[in-house]
Structure formats: structure tokens, C-alpha cells
Structure 1
Amino acid sequence: MTKSLRDKMKSVGSKRRKKIEVRAQQLIAEEMALRELRKAHHRTQVSMAKQLGISQDGVSRLEKRSDLLLSTLRNYVEAMGGNLRLVAEFPDQPPVMLTGFADIEDDHPAQ
């Protein structure tokens, strides 16, 4: 008979369970699509649309795209009060923060 994750977690001590829960939240935060990011910040597509100056349908399409312009992504993140940072990661080297993207103007409306 197999145990469910819930049953297994009940058998783990409270300190260990807390560590597991904290790490799970860290992993979830590291991998979040735009839709989940918006929802985590308690924003609706309508409120994002107003802030970005586009339609709700435009926000929906933007959240489904995988090839956004950096300026569009930056505007989306800033509409939630965040800042977009670009980091390049290479094997056997520390991460490198890419600069020079802060002044990108969005000549194309969000799609």
C-alpha cells in the first residue's frame, strides 16, 4: 500500500516539515509563468490591462506567449510593482547580471 504525500508529511517532525514547506515555496517562486505571477500578486487581467494601457484580451494573449519583447515583459513586471533583472548563467561560472536594458523603450504595444 502506498502512502500519499499528505500522510507522509504528517509523519515528519514539525521542524523538518517547516523546512520542506519553505523550500517548496522557494522552488515554486523560482518557476512561475506570467499568469501565476499575476495571481500571486492578487492582480486580475482587467487591473493589469488598465495599468498597461491595453485590453484584457491583450493581457490574456501576453500571458500565453513565450516570445515576449523584453520591454513588454519589463512593463508587465513593473505594473505589479517589481523590477525585471536579466541574469546569464554559465556552467562553472558565477551568474552575470546583464545591464543596459533599463532604457529600452517599448515602441510596440503589448500583444
Structure 2
Amino acid sequence: MAKKFADLRAQMTPQAREQADEKTQTMLAEMPLHELRRARGLSQKMLAEALHVQQPSVAKLERRTDMYISTLRSHIEAMGGELEVIAKFPDGVVKINNFAELA
């Protein structure tokens, strides 16, 4: 018989719950585009309609490993987000702002 997640979580030690929460936050902070779309509750068809393209175009875009920043920005904005480009260095991070106003 299947158990409810809430019941299983209640049986976890506080330390195990904390570790699970940290793992969840890590997983939510980094994900491929198709998982991000799903997490936002959108189908490829819904996103295609927002982007004014056909559904196969969304599927193709989600499989790409290289794309224009403007293409990625449009995809993210269609999901209700905002794209920021961040460069990470050993001594800190820098937000790259010359892509902010591209249209």
C-alpha cells in the first residue's frame, strides 16, 4: 500500500528533513529548460502559443545546447520570468548588463 509523502516526512529526523530541503532547493535552482517549463505548469503547446510558434519549435529549442541569448530570453519571459546573465569568478560574481535592453 502506498504511503502519503507527508506521513513519510513526519517520520524523518529533523536532520534528514533539513538535508531533503537543501537537496530540493539545489534541484530547483538548476534545471534544464523542459523541466523548468513543467515546473511552471506549462505544456509545450501552451508555451508555443505564448511565443507565437509551433509546438515542435519549442521541443527543438528545449533540446538545444547552444542558442542566442535573445532566444533564451524570449523563452524565459514567455514562462513569466526574467533572464539575467551572471559571470562567476573565484573572487565574486558579476551581472553582465549589456544584454539587459536587447529587444
**What is the TM-score of this pair, normalised by structure 2?**
0.84
Q: Which runs of 4+ in 1 moved over 3 A?
A: 9-12
Pick 1 or 2: higher relative contact order, CA cutoff 8 A, min separation 6: 1
> 1:4 aligns to what?
none
Sequence identity (%) = 35
Unaligned regions of 5+ residues in structure 2, if any?
A: 1-8
Matched, 1:73 2:78: no
CA RMSD of aligned residues (A): 1.7
Q: Equivalents in 1 of 2:92, 2:54: separation in Å?
A: 40
Identify, as 1 or 2, the structure richer in strand.
2
Q: Deviations over 1:68-100 (max 9, x none)?
A: 110110111111111111110112x11111102
Unaligned regions of 5+ residues in structure 1, if any?
A: 1-8, 106-111
Q: How many residues align?
A: 95
Q: Equivalents in 2 of 1:26, 1:64: separation in Å?
A: 24
**What is the TM-score of this pair, normalised by structure 1?**
0.79
> 1:108 aligns to what?
none
